[in-house]
Amino acid sequence: MSDSNSNSPSLDELRRAFDTQLATAIQSANVQPVRDRYLGRKDGLITRLLKDLGTVPPEQRRERGAAANTFKAYVEQRIEEAAAAVREAAQRAALERDSLDVTLPGRRPTLGRRHPLTLVRDRLEAIFTRMGFAIVEGPEIEDEWHCFDALNMPAEHPARDMQDTLYLARPVKGESGRPDDLRTLLRTHTSAVQIRYMETHQPPIRIVVPGRVYRRDDLDLTHSPAFGQVEALVVGEGISMAHLKGTLLAFVREMFAGSSRVRFRPSFFPYTEPSAEIDISCWQCDGAGCPMCKRTGWIEIGGCGMVHPAVFEAVGYDTEKYTGFAWGLGIERIAMLRHQVGDIRLFYENDLRFLEQFPH
């Protein structure tokens, strides 16, 4: 019979090693590895110790067995205590972390604010919604058909030069001549959405289309290559220029001043006939003349006109039955006028000193 225990550490040595390892385990808040090492069902040091008792000479067995069991009880108890201590420490730490001092004054959350251009757009939408218009949006990446052709601006039309923009895809050589053969581009005006809407709806139509549009303009005091527009379109039976003027006047009086007046100057747009530039009386001087209106008493805010029959033909409307009007306004332009902002670039620079001057 071999004495396999002769080179094994004594129980005293084992206990000292255990105490040291357990102390380290408590510090790192993880007792489990020590538990496995000593009490593990298969390889635990104490499990092996008890198994090895079978090899101990019978006369020593009782004494060695008793000592091993005492040590096992000791280890079990110390590990249990250590696990409890670690649990309690974790709970205490969590409580401290989550503690709530109800006597502290509340922290006021910093509220953001709407951008001045958003303020103008929201106000526009509110006014038109009250007047019974639906708010409609469309894609900023448009095809030539919706942006130009359907709006009576065929290829080579000089008006296309004035609305030069970024083209996104090379033309696909197709035979059908259908819109999907056409190039895509960043839309130059929200009027493209008129076409999309009329293609899928029948009159009567009353829509307002706000959105971002793109031109090949350099950024300066009054121009930006990307800016906001809002477009209005009304189509129905018997719609006349009088409806256009009345609706516009009602809008302007809500947007600017109750005493505003509207003036039309003849103009040209391919998609309207007749066409006009819209001037409104200066709300600073009420038409008397001041620096804001360059002493003229009038301020230009956009363009308008009666929808050209060619546009109705493009979407398959009966040009004998329906008439309509449309206008387009610049959102930045309105914001600059309303708040007397002299430089359009201020709207895009995100300088809080500028943005915080506007009401919430």
Residue of closest CB approach to Zn ion: 282
Whole-number minimum distance, CB 181 to Zn ion, in Å?
A: 50
Distance (Å) of CA 100 to CA 95, 97, 106, 353: 9, 9, 12, 36
289 DSSP assignment: -
Q: Helix, strand, or coil here: 304?
A: strand
Whole-number minimum distance, CB 300 to Zn ion, in Å?
A: 13
| CB closer to Zn ion, 276 vs 293 | 293
Residue 267-286 contact track with Zn ion, rule CB under 5 A, x = bound: ---------------x-xx-
293 binds Zn ion (CB under 5 A): yes
Whole-number minimum distance, CB 256 to Zn ion, in Å?
A: 12
Q: Which span sits near Zn ion by CB under 5 A: 50-58, 244-252, 287-295, 319-327?
A: 287-295
Three-state SS sequence of 20-54? HHHHHHHHCCCCHHHHHHHHCCCCCHHHHHHHHHH
Backbone angles phi, psi at 289, to 5 degrees: 110, 125
Task: Mark residue 340 as left, alpha or beta (left: phi above 0; alpha: psi -120 to 50; beta: remaining).
Answer: left
| CB closer to Zn ion, 53 vs 285 | 285
Task: Mark residue 329 as left, alpha or beta (left: phi above 0; alpha: psi -120 to 50; beta: remaining).
Answer: beta
Size of the site for Zn ion (CB under 5 A): 6
Whole-number minimum distance, CB 297 to Zn ion, in Å?
A: 6
Contacts of 311 by beta carbon, 8 Å cutoff, 6+ apart: 150, 151, 152, 194, 195, 271
| Distance of alpha carbon 309 from alpha carbon 239, whole angstroms | 13
| CB closer to Zn ion, 44 vs 297 | 297
| CB closer to Zn ion, 159 vs 285 | 285
Whole-number minimum distance, CB 279 to Zn ion, in Å?
A: 12
Peptide bond into 225 cis (omega under 30): no
Whole-number minimum distance, CB 287 to Zn ion, in Å?
A: 7
| CB closer to Zn ion, 282 vs 301 | 282
- Which residue of 11, 159, 250, 290 would you call a contact of Zn ion, by CB under 5 A? 290
301 binds Zn ion (CB under 5 A): no
Q: Determine which helix (DSSP H) or strand (DSSP E) holds 142, and give its type and residue range.
A: strand 141-143
Enumerate binding residues for Zn ion (CB under 5 A): 282, 284-285, 290, 292-293
